[in-house]
């Protein structure tokens, strides 16, 4: 393979039952870039499945390879396009996969819905999705902290009303 040939990065959690969605994404990506080398990020368990579905190179996460190494390898792959296979409804979840697609440096990012339809987005679109999902996660985290703090305060107040911090258990 020469350096001038285009490369594609396929991102999926590759869970059981997602083989058909991955196959459809591979077919669509091959239609867009027929000569491209397809790489995917997978776990040691999903790597054989991804290879059987036609992925030429699997960047394995795990087996003493952390997130930094996976990001480096995807950047070294220099994909012209990245495809994200969404297993949930619409484009929910998948913050890690979207972030990895953005960090890979791919110029085009394709988003494959569970029903097999695809849409293309640019870097700005994926950044907006990443920011929205990260903000949503931060709001849920803050709400969790507030609920835990309120519960602690209620328990502490109940303890004080029951006789203070030295109250014995009956």
Give me the CATH number covering residue 59: 3.40.50.10770
- Assess if residue 137 is contained within a domain: no
- Assess if residue 153 is contained within a domain: no
Whether the predicted model's global pTM rises above the 0.85 cut = no
Confidence of residue 2 (pLDDT cuts 50, 70, 90): very low
- Assess if residue 144 is contained within a domain: no
User: H/E element holding 111?
Assistant: strand 108-112
pLDDT at res. 89: 63
Taking 50 as the threshold, does the pLDDT of residue 1 lie above it? no
Domain count, the chain: 1
The C-alpha angle with vertex 70 and arms to 96 and 102, in degrees rounded to 5, equals: 45
Taking only the tens place, the pLDDT of each residue in 93-139 is 688 889 999 999 888 899 888 777 788 888 888 899 899 989 999 99
Boundaries of domain holding 109: 7-127
Taking only the tens place, the pLDDT of each residue in 30-85 is 888 888 889 998 888 888 888 988 889 998 887 777 788 888 888 888 898 899 88
Nearest alpha-carbon partner for 128 in 109, 141, 147, 155: 109
- Assess if residue 132 is contained within a domain: no
- Assess if residue 156 is contained within a domain: no
């Amino acid at each position: 393979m020469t350096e001038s040939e285009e490369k594609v990065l396929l991102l999926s959690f590759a869970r059981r039952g997602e083989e058909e969605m991955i196959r459809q994404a591979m077919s669509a990506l091959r239609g867009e870039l027929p000569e491209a080398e397809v790489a995917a990020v997978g776990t040691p368990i999903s790597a054989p499945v991804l290879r059987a579905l036609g992925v030429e190179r699997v960047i394995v996460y795990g087996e003493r390879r952390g997130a930094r190494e996976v990001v480096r390898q995807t950047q070294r792959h220099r994909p012209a396009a990245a495809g994200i296979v969404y297993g949930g409804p619409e484009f929910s979840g998948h913050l890690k996969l979207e972030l990895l697609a953005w960090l890979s440096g791919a110029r085009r990012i394709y988003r494959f819905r569970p029903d097999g339809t695809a849409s293309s987005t640019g870097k700005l679109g994926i950044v907006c999705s990443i920011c929205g999902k990260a903000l949503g996660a931060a709001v849920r985290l803050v709400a969790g902290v507030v609920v835990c703090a309120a519960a602690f305060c209620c328990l502490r107040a109940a303890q004080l009303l029951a006789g203070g911090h030295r109250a014995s258990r009956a």
